[in-house]
Amino acid sequence: MAFCPICNRAAAQRGDNPALPFCSMRCKQIDLGKWLNEDYRVPVPFDPDADDRPFYSPPHEDKA
């Protein structure tokens, strides 16, 4: 038994349910909308246009 990742209800098995792994086409559309709204976008670790400090800056060892 699979459960819909959107509404958490039981999803019908393959064959009965073209929207797998979702329970319905409606939930599939909701998931697609999330992607389009970039809710799922992975943060970009490096932005070549950013003229800011990197996320990790090593400690300076320039003390004489």
Nearer to Zn ion, 7 or 12 (CB): 7
User: Using the rule CB under 5 A, is 7 a contact of Zn ion?
Assistant: yes
Helices (H), the chain: 25-36
* Cα separation, 55 vs 22, whole angstroms: 37
Site string for Zn ion, 22-51 (x = CB under 5 A): -x---x------------------------
Whether 56 contacts 47, CB under 8 Å: no
**Minimum CB distance to Zn ion, residue 40 (Å):** 17
**Minimum CB distance to Zn ion, residue 41 (Å):** 22
Tell me, what amino acid is at 33? G
